[in-house]
Amino acid sequence: MFHLRYFRCFRFALLALLAGSARAQAPAADSLAAALRRYGQQTLVEKLYVHLDRPVYAARETMWLKVYAVDGTFHHPLALSKVAYVEVLNSLHQPVLQTQIALREATGQGSLNLPASLPTGRYVVRAYTSWMKNFDPAFYFHTTVSIINTFTASGPAPAAAQAAGYDVQFFPEGGQLVQGLPSRVAFRVADAAGWGLAATGTVRDGQGRAVATLRTVHAGLGSFELTPAPGATYSAEIQLTGKPAGAYKLPPAAAQGYVLRLTEASPAQLRLRVLARGVGAAAASLALLGHSGQHIATAQATQLNAQGEAEFLIEKATLLAGLSHFTVFDSRRQPVGERLYFRRPRALPLSLGLAPAPVGPRQTVALRLALPAAAATAASASVAVYQLDSLTTGASPADINTFLSLTADLRGAIENPDYYLRDSSQVGQQALDNLLLTHGWSRFRWAEVRAGRPPALPYPPELHGPLVRGQVLTATGAPAPGITAYLAAPSRAPRFYSATSRADGVLQFEPKDWYGPQSVTLQTDWRRDSTYQLALLSPYSARYAPYPAAALELGPALTADLTRRHVQAQLQPTYFGRYAQYELPPQRDTVAFYGVPPVQYRLDDYTRFKVLDEVLREYVQGVDVRPRKDGFHLMMVDKLHNTFFQQDPLVLLDGVPMFNLNKFMAFDPLRIQRVAVFTNRYFYGGQDYEGMLSFTTYRGDLQGFALDPRALLEEYESVQGQREFFAPRYETTQQQQSPLPDQRNLLYWQPAVQLAAGDTQQLTFYTADQAGRYRVMVQALGANGQATSVSAEFEVKPAL
């Protein structure tokens, strides 16, 4: 029986956690808070932020990137996943480039070569982990970049045609309009591509009477006040500059329901007012649950008064930095309204020092990054230095602080998101509130939270490295459960994996030290399972969220910069391409999966025979070759019981299982370098085998052995190897006078800057031959979850 003393202790702890709530707790609020807390433990929120080296690229250039992984609540570095998936999508949401980036200690770095075949346009770069694939793809990292193919459009291209029409949407505060209740209604005016338009207008009732006026404040967003009359309908006449006015219907007002209004009660408190109409006495009991990234900030309960009004006071100090959700529930624990609030985060106090004096070509530039001791945290940073021109005007990388605290939890693309953190004026606050009213939503459904059951999570986190997924199907294409399959990548350090298919036929393998392209084999033991179809599944998400990318317009004013980019795109690969492709060798475990074998034979130490049967008979001890009517069988010695096993052992060639022993025994032994012998029962991957023989060829690539036609052979791209950013150095007079042209657009890229509290680091690089303005962009994340984006500019003067 649950003792009353423990219940009181539990309740006291819960009250302490929810300190700052202005109202006494109620069972409904308590149970909702407990349900959300339990749901949050089951569905840990993971966020990725990707720092791209610049916002505009030319085809044939390299896109450099750094990935930051954080938890979705406190934005602390989260070393959960070990792989990030990065894609470049075209305007049709089709991936044109894909790669896997290894994550170590919650960060990763990589690059993408932009092929010469990419057409000019705006592209979306998105990133996610295997764990994030369990949730809405709108919560993946997204940002837009411009890619210009100067080989197909080296001069000015015609401006893209503007799509006709525009869209208007209305968002009542709290979620709905209710007859007779005053409401604040936010609205959004956007073009066909989804980008905001400035507009004015008038709201009219069904008789044509004006009841409100409206005007956008920022990025096509605005709001107005409206009290719907019973039975009335409303529409808004929207006027855009140079376009005819259009009429758009407002959502109909409900005869009964709830309306929310969030205001500032004081510098330290928020007031959430609830107005209700026609809900009945049974629904008069209300509960409020406020959470920041599923971290519970407040849980309160109250009653509607006789006028159908209720009020909640919320202490701002209980809210985490960033977005908070306030959800109001009725007595049936059904959500009846939700409102978002944003608390500005404290930025990481990282400073960037740069000598303002102009420098010349091929000269040194020194940067100074300083993290004061008062920061009381270590930080990871990435630094990019790129040239500014007419093509980069108005383009800037996504700010890590803005993304993590604001845009990562809002629906759709946000125009100029840095504005909302930068402008703290009254107009800026109004624009921010409009943004929250029009783009707000939750990462979960309350029905799932209240159900108390863990949601379906088919994609586990990749805790140690990439997971390779396959599928087994019957001859009719139906999933085949309970079938054991074997995955291998031929190698001199054999790697062999087995898995049993789930109810949906899916197999899951966890290979070790897989980098770059792999020639892999997937097969079943066709002696038992010969009729099944096998497939390797793509590790990339097949779900896409709408993310608008405005058309890229290249007008005559860009001719000079397009020409310069065209020259850069040809000269840099020609003179420095061999350095730019340098890849650091990955650190691989060179020991086979079975470790050091108990007995191993190097065949070159013995008389070489031309028949494998003779090799095994003459000097490989512990195996008995037995020809039978159905062909060869290999009986291994059971060393523990001093007898022979009765079944064939597991036989591997360069890590690939050999199920056709007759065919394998015909393989040329002169291509085999060594054989490892296990004369005991061998357990591996949930399977056990009566001994094992592992043969390794000289090249580790099967050396021409033809696998069974039922085996699947496929090229599989795994985690990319790490490439080193190359930039020429001009330390000597000879280097400075080198005739090789240096037309770099990206002068410097350093993704792995580590700073301790009180640390100052100086980073140096050399300018190129191009005169002009250059931007230094630094993105940084502290171990305490604080983030910042700092930048500076300098000028390179032409050579005299």
> Positive or negative CA dihedral for 718, 719, 722, 723?
positive
Tens digit of pLDDT for each residue in 258-276? 999 999 999 999 999 999 9
Tens digit of pLDDT for each residue in 200-241? 999 999 999 999 999 999 999 999 999 999 999 999 999 998
DSSP 105-140: TTEEEEEEE--TTPPSEEEEEEEE-TGGGGS-GGGS
Among 368, 317, 227, CA closest to 761? 368
CA distance 555 to 160: 10
Tens digit of pLDDT for each residue in 556-599? 888 888 888 888 878 777 767 666 655 665 677 778 888 899 99
Strand arrangement of the beta sheet that strand 257-266 belongs to = 257-266, 269-277, 309-315
Q: Please check whether residue 420 is in contact with residue 217, taking contact to mean a CB–CB distance below 8 angstroms.
A: no
| Model confidence at 357: pLDDT above 50 | yes
pLDDT given at position 581: 57
Strand 364-371 to 759-766 pairing:
antiparallel
pLDDT band at 629 (very low <50, low <70, confident <90, very high): confident
Higher-confidence residue: 649 or 588?
A: 649
Query: Which residues neighbour 676 within 8 Å (Cβ) at sequence distance 6 or greater?
Result: 592, 594, 597, 599, 600, 692, 693, 694, 696
CA distance 566 to 105: 39
Give the Å distances, CA to CA, from 80 to 70, 77, 104, 307, 651: 9, 9, 9, 51, 36
pLDDT given at position 531: 87
| Model confidence at 7: pLDDT above 60 | no
As separate numbers, helices (DSSP H) first and strands (DSSP E) second, the chain gives 10, 44
pTM comes to 0.91
Among 111, 105, 102, 117, CA closest to 53? 111
Q: For the chain, how many residues are written?
A: 800
Rg (CA), the chain: 32
Q: Per-residue b/e over 71-83, b at no fewer than 16 CB within 10 Å?
A: bbbebbbbebbbb
| Model confidence at 196: pLDDT above 80 | yes
pLDDT given at position 155: 39
Cα 180 to its chain centre, rounded Å, is: 45
| Model confidence at 6: pLDDT above 50 | no
Tens digit of pLDDT for each residue in 505-524? 999 999 988 888 889 999 99
pLDDT given at position 513: 83
Among 260, 261, 208, 213, CA closest to 234? 208
27-42 vs 4-17: helix crossing angle, rounded to 10? 80
Lowest mean pLDDT segment, chosen from 72-76, 725-729, 786-790:
725-729
**Mean of the pLDDT values across residues 407-417?**
88
pLDDT given at position 195: 84
Cα 621 to its chain centre, rounded Å, is: 53
Strand 210-215 to 285-292 pairing:
unpaired
Long-range contacts of 279-287 (CB under 8 A, 24+ apart): 279/304, 279/308, 279/330, 282/331, 283/330, 283/331, 283/332, 284/331, 285/26, 285/28, 285/330, 285/331, 286/310, 286/328, 286/329, 286/330, 286/331, 287/26, 287/28, 287/29, 287/32, 287/328, 287/329, 287/333
Lowest mean pLDDT segment, chosen from 564-578, 656-670, 760-774, 785-799:
564-578
**Mean of the pLDDT values across residues 86-110?**
95
Give the pair of three-digit tokens for residue 137: 């793809």
Q: To the nearest whole percent, how much of the chain has pLDDT over 90?
A: 69
Give the pair of three-digit tokens for residue 622: 């512990």
| Model confidence at 80: pLDDT above 50 | yes
Give the pair of three-digit tokens for residue 128: 């996610």
User: Which residues is 748 bridged to in the sheet?
Assistant: 385
**Mean of the pLDDT values across residues 1-11?**
37
pLDDT given at position 5: 39
Tens digit of pLDDT for each residue in 269-317? 999 999 999 888 767 899 999 999 889 999 999 999 989 999 999 999 9
CA distance 244 to 261: 34
Q: Which domains does the chain have, with CATH numbers?
A: 46-157+551-580 (2.60.40.1930), 468-538+590-719 (no CATH)
CA distance 75 to 408: 11
CA distance 139 to 545: 9
pLDDT given at position 153: 53
CA distance 591 to 165: 64
Average pLDDT, the chain: 89
Give the pair of three-digit tokens for residue 278: 């026609």
Tens digit of pLDDT for each residue in 445-464? 888 888 877 788 999 999 99
**Residue 99: phi, psi to the nearest 5?**
-155, 160
Residue 322, helix vs strand vs coil: strand
Lowest mean pLDDT segment, chosen from 54-58, 529-533, 664-668:
529-533
pLDDT given at position 29: 84
pLDDT band at 495 (very low <50, low <70, confident <90, very high): confident
| Model confidence at 405: pLDDT above 90 | yes
pLDDT given at position 722: 82
User: E-assigned strands of 474-598?
Assistant: 484-488, 496-500, 506-509, 517-524, 533-536
Strand arrangement of the beta sheet that strand 295-303 belongs to = 295-303, 285-292, 322-329, 335-343
pLDDT given at position 509: 94
CA distance 669 to 651: 14
DSSP 246-309: EEEEPPPPBSSEEEEEEEEEETTEEEEEEEEES--GGG-EEEEEEEETTEEEEEEEEE--TTSE
